[in-house]
Amino acid sequence: MDFDSSQPIYKQIIDYYKKQIVRGELGPGDKILSQREYAEQARVNPNTVQRAYREMEALQMVETVRGQGTFIRVSEETQKRLKREMEESLLAYFVKEMKSLGYEQDEILGIVQRKLEAQGEDPEDDSIQKC
Amino acid sequence: MDFDSSQPIYKQIIDYYKKQIVRGELGPGDKILSQREYAEQARVNPNTVQRAYREMEALQMVETVRGQGTFIRVSEETQKRLKREMEESLLAYFVKEMKSLGYEQDEILGIVQRKLEAQGEDPEDDSIQKC
Amino acid sequence: MDFDSSQPIYKQIIDYYKKQIVRGELGPGDKILSQREYAEQARVNPNTVQRAYREMEALQMVETVRGQGTFIRVSEETQKRLKREMEESLLAYFVKEMKSLGYEQDEILGIVQRKLEAQGEDPEDDSIQKC
Amino acid sequence: MDFDSSQPIYKQIIDYYKKQIVRGELGPGDKILSQREYAEQARVNPNTVQRAYREMEALQMVETVRGQGTFIRVSEETQKRLKREMEESLLAYFVKEMKSLGYEQDEILGIVQRKLEAQGEDPEDDSIQKC
DNA sequence: GTGGTCTAGACCACC
DNA sequence: GTGGTCTAGACCACC
């Protein structure tokens, strides 16, 4: 629950829940933090949280019941679709960027492999983050 | 030379030149388009081009000579460092995000492989762009 | 007795009774469900029912007698006035909105006619609800 | 540009533009007021206007270009769909409510006719507004 | 206690 | 000048 400045906070909140859903750590019916609770714990303004929650509602990720709270409301379909979409866009972005750095299709796999092996030994190496 | 709205245009311009340099398509001494030419051809606001060129100077990517134009000014060292940095941050970002989607270290390589094979058959498949 | 989220539940309860009265299905002296019964049957919070009943008293639609229950208390006058008011405001709203969509006075009648004919054939077609 | 309290201001703003589009008074490419201008003229907070504009963007009614302003961006399809939807939901609501007041299918047409004739003579008669 | 709306105003990013 | 994000905080509506 801490934010970097590369993206607006409200988007980072949405992203956080998206990943939770994709990983199956949050599922249909689960209650998430109330807007106030979230705001207090994450030390952000309630309006910022509300914006995130409102957009999650528009994205059909959650349902909000006034006076009761906010609940995860994704069908299994949606959960799978979310995962597929996020994975696909991440992959496409990665391959496209690698190619634009001048790598050929064949080289990419090797580079990833080396990276993963290196991380296997030192999994804490998070390096710099792009984007 | 067309832009999407996911990032400010001036950053996309910088990125474009960065990649050209990293790929070796532009090297020390090469003359690039004048700000005016660039603005006309890409149909963007001259102010936007100016900002991009100004920042590229600050990044020591280019040098502008009054009355002559703008020239690439990166040593081979810098060119290599740039490449290493961009590659590393891209890789780190990719692996971190894949893990946050719930994938284990071992699975990632297989997924990349499948993606590359799929693209081998249909290299036009650019899909959605992340970020 | 099921509710949508476009309006507060307590208002939907009041509306339900108003319409029953206007249609003559409930009249002076008729006993309605106790708050408790209503809450159980409709599976809503007793507080919500209480608010609805309290407001219906304020509107002089019902009267609550301790230990006996809640009774309809509208004169025939009131019943007729209610009907006239509801009808008039509904009509005014409808015509005003149709005009704001760009329809002329003359066109409106034809549209209503077509709608009614269409529904005559397929009276289950409830479509979307406005408001 | 004045608002009633029956609905949130941001929704009334959206509604206003929806109707303008449906009536053809605003079409693709037309620039609408900047958020600041709108806020000043309508004497509401810029944040409120922004919320309306943001939602209109999500509804694919407009497109917003940073530094340039906000522009109507509806295809003819969308424009027609909007009209159909608004008309249909209005009609459905009207008929459903009239029936719930106890009117039969056949009576409704007559009532509308009488209303329209009455308004023909005195078109200023806006009466009370429901909803 | 829960969410919903709105105002006031700061500061930033872009053109 | 244009929109984008965020904070602070009021007040309301509902349960």
- In this structure, is the CB of residue D39 within 7 Å of any atom belonging to strand F? no
Confidence check: pLDDT of A65 > 60:
yes
pLDDT of residue A123: 55
Note whether B23 and A102 are within 8 A (CB).
Answer: yes
Neighbouring subunits of D (3+ Cβ pairs under 8 A):
C
C18 to chain D: closest CA residue:
D101
pTM across the whole model? 0.81
- In this structure, is the CB of residue B47 within 7 Å of any atom belonging to strand E? yes
Region C57-76: what's the mean pLDDT? 87
- In this structure, is the CB of residue D20 within 7 Å of any atom belonging to strand F? no
**Mean pLDDT of the residues in chain B:** 84
- Closest residue (CA) to C1' of nucleotide F15 is A67
Lowest mean pLDDT among C29-38, D13-22, D36-45: C29-38
CA-based end-to-end distance of chain C: 18
Region A66-85: what's the mean pLDDT? 90
Q: How confident is the model at residue A52 (pLDDT cuts 50, 70, 90)?
A: very high
Q: How confident is the model at residue B131 (pLDDT cuts 50, 70, 90)?
A: very low
State how far residue D69 is from chain C, nearest Cα, in angstroms. 26
pLDDT tens readout for residues A100-113: 898 988 899 999 99
Q: What is the largest CA-CA distance in chain D?
A: 56
pLDDT of residue A45: 94
Strand order in the sheet with C31-32: C31-32, C69-72, C62-65
Region D105-124: what's the mean pLDDT? 83
Neighbouring subunits of C (3+ Cβ pairs under 8 A):
D
Q: How confident is the model at residue A129 (pLDDT cuts 50, 70, 90)?
A: very low
- In this structure, is the CB of residue D69 within 7 Å of any atom belonging to strand F? yes
Share of chain B above pLDDT 90, in %: 27
State how far residue D108 is from chain C, nearest Cα, in angstroms. 9
**Which residue numbers of B have CB closer than 8 Å to A's CBs?**
19, 22-24, 83, 85-98, 100-102, 105, 108-109, 111-113, 115-116, 119-120, 125-131
pLDDT of residue B64: 87
pLDDT of residue A66: 83
Q: How confident is the model at residue D130 (pLDDT cuts 50, 70, 90)?
A: very low
Q: Which of residues 67-126 of A touch strand E (CB under 7 A)?
A: 67-70
Confidence check: pLDDT of C123 > 80:
no
With beta carbons under 8 A apart, name residues in chain D contacting C121.
none
> What's the CA A48/C1' F7 distance, rounded, in angstroms?
9
pLDDT tens readout for residues D73-114: 998 888 998 999 999 989 999 999 999 898 988 899 999 999
Q: Given an 8 Å threshold on Cβ–Cβ distance, is C113 in contact with D115?
A: no
With beta carbons under 8 A apart, name residues in chain A contacting B109.
109, 112-113, 116
C111 to chain D: closest CA residue:
D91
Q: What is the dihedral of CA C12, C17, C22, C25, to 10 degrees?
A: 140
- In this structure, is the CB of residue A47 within 7 Å of any atom belonging to strand F? yes
Q: How confident is the model at residue A1 (pLDDT cuts 50, 70, 90)?
A: low
State how far residue D16 is from chain C, nearest Cα, in angstroms. 9
Confidence check: pLDDT of D127 > 60:
no
pLDDT of residue D129: 45
pLDDT of residue B123: 55
pLDDT of residue B24: 87
Q: Given an 8 Å threshold on Cβ–Cβ distance, is D130 in contact with C89?
A: yes
Q: Given an 8 Å threshold on Cβ–Cβ distance, is C126 in contact with D92?
A: yes
- In this structure, is the CB of residue D24 within 7 Å of any atom belonging to strand F? no
Q: How confident is the model at residue D123 (pLDDT cuts 50, 70, 90)?
A: low
pLDDT of residue B128: 44
Segment D46-53 long-range contacts (CB within 8 Å, at least 24 positions apart) = D48/D9, D48/D10, D48/D13, D49/D10, D49/D13, D51/D10, D52/D9, D52/D10, D52/D11, D52/D13, D52/D14, D53/D13
Residue C62 to residue C29: CA distance in whole angstroms:
9
Nucleotides of E under 7 A from a protein CB: 1-9, 13-15
Q: How confident is the model at residue D131 (pLDDT cuts 50, 70, 90)?
A: very low
List the one residue out of A100, D44, D111 whose CA is nearest residue C116. Answer: D111
| D90 → closest Cβ in C89, C119, C130 | C130
Q: Given an 8 Å threshold on Cβ–Cβ distance, is A101 in contact with B127?
A: no
| B101 → closest Cβ in A87, A95, A131 | A87
pLDDT of residue C75: 84
pLDDT tens readout for residues B58-74: 888 898 888 888 999 88
pLDDT of residue A68: 87
Confidence check: pLDDT of D24 > 50:
yes
Residue D106 to residue D94: CA distance in whole angstroms:
14
> What's the CA A70/C1' F15 distance, rounded, in angstroms?
14
Q: Do chain A and B touch: 3 or more Cβ pairs under 8 angstroms?
A: yes
Helix (H) or strand (E) holding B27, with range, is none
With beta carbons under 8 A apart, name residues in chain C contacting D17.
none
Share of chain C above pLDDT 70, in %: 90
A46 to A36, A92, B49, D49, D50: CA distances (angstroms): 6, 35, 38, 20, 18
pLDDT of residue C60: 85
Q: C71 - beta bridge partners?
A: C31, C63
> What's the CA D4/C1' E9 distance, rounded, in angstroms?
25
Lowest mean pLDDT among B3-12, D89-98, D118-127: D118-127
- Which among A56-65, C40-49, D111-120 has the top mean pLDDT? A56-65
Q: How confident is the model at residue B85 (pLDDT cuts 50, 70, 90)?
A: confident
State both tokens at D100. 């719930």
Question: From the CB of residue C3, how many other CB atoms can be counted at a distance below 10 Å?
Answer: 17
pLDDT of residue A107: 92
